[in-house]
Amino acid sequence: MGILSKVEQHSETETTVGLDVILFSGRANPQLAAAIARDLDVRVGRCEIDRFADGETSVRLGESVTGRHVVLVQPTAPPVNDHLMELLALADACRRGIAARISAVIPYYGYARSDKRHNELEPIMGRVVADLLQSVGISHLVTMDLHTPQIEGFFRAPVDSLTAMESLCAAMRADLPKDFVVVAPDAGRATLAAQYAQCLGAEVVVLHKRRTREHVETVRIVGDVAGRACVLIDDMISTGGTLAQATAVLLDKGARPGIVIAATHGLFIAPARERLDIEGVKAVYVTDTIASPVAGWPKLRVVPVAPVFAAAVRRYIEGAHRG
Ligand code: R5P
């Protein structure tokens, strides 16, 4: 039984706390929002989102949210600032419309890479975004493969910090040869690579990279890839620089061509596709957290993750109903 039908049944018999659930989508990934709504068996609410002539964001809900549990779905994917502003406007409209609770499903959390200062003249934008989200009444966050787990600590509100690792492993298995290693493109992904390796029953190799403003450089490799197939993992593909560089190093060290890439968030900012569309790469797996700008690319495999989000939202709402 879906959440809404359960809630409706309760409200008919007047034995519940009186919550019912409605989902609204921003414009970043309406397909994913619709899939989450289907899994939850709730309706996608009507709303109009647009830009005023001067570029400001305009939002108008098409129905009342008073007393309802609202689920907002919006990855803050490129254009990050526009999508973030839409989400803030949606949440503020719900808060002012006296929604009972607001869960924000932010499948990809933009600005997550700004989680600390590299020098004293920089902001920590991951924290600024957390403060903004909470200032407009978001009382629960659901997200996936945050760039660093400590971002969860930027929130006072409860955070469901999910991973796509199992979904990606399940989807990739058929594409993997017998003798392969899982490769982290940098030390920051070593823990994630170890989780993939455990899930897939493989060894881990870690590359160490140095990033300057202009380019990424791999400086050391820990582990042996000679003659072996590789599964190269990451949390995200932005311009593809990190994984293109890692691929080149692996092939140079004698890894077998036919490298399989897996990353949760496929931003594919140009020239990411061109960088990764090379002979040595067999397939690129990403999830549908971000509506793909390179849909139709034969090497691309998109793994759906709506059920993972829906399960987390369901758990939270059922917990909230129990009080
Ligand atoms: C960096 O630490 C991240 O985990 C990714 O490796 C990086 O942000 C990907 O960006 P790009 O695709 O532009 O190299």
Kindly report, residue by residue over 248-277, the tens digit of the pLDDT: 999 999 999 999 999 999 999 999 999 999
The answer on 236 and 87 residing in a single domain is no
Are 61 and 143 part of one and the same domain?
Answer: yes
Domain hosting 153: range is: 2-162+306-322
What is the per-residue pLDDT for 34? Answer: 98
The answer to whether the CB of 203 falls within 8 A of the CB of 224 is no
Tokens of 132: 């903004």
| The residue to which tokens 């964001």 are assigned | 57
Our answer to whether residue 116 is catalytic in this structure is: no
Looking at the structure, tell me whether residues 297 and 316 fall in a common domain: no
**Residue 28 pLDDT:** 98
Shared domain for 158 and 191, answered yes or no, is: no
107 ligand 1 Cβ < 6 A: no
Show the DSSP H helices in 231-296 as ranges: 241-252, 272-276
pLDDT tens digit string along 1-10? 444 434 333 3
Reported in sequence order, the residue ranges of 99-248 that DSSP labels E, i.e. its strands, are 101-106, 140-144, 159-162, 180-184, 203-211, 216-222, 229-237
pLDDT in the model for residue 323: 63
Q: Which of 242, 265, 281 to mutate to test the pocket of ligand 1 (most atoms within 8 A of CB)?
A: 242
Same domain, 197 and 118: no
| C-alpha to C-alpha distance for 262 and 235, rounded to whole angstroms | 8
180 and 266 belong to one structural domain = yes
Residue 218 has a pLDDT of 66
CB 230 within 8 A of CB 204: no
Overall number of domains in the chain: 2
Phi then psi dihedrals of residue 153, to 5 deg:
-70, -10
User: Ligand 1, from 116, 238, 239: best to mutate by most atoms within 8 Å of Cβ?
Assistant: 238
Strand partners, 106: 143
Tokens of 281: 């790469």
Q: Are 268 and 318 in a shared domain?
A: no
With a cut of 70, which residues of the chain have pLDDT below it? 1-19, 211-216, 218, 321, 323
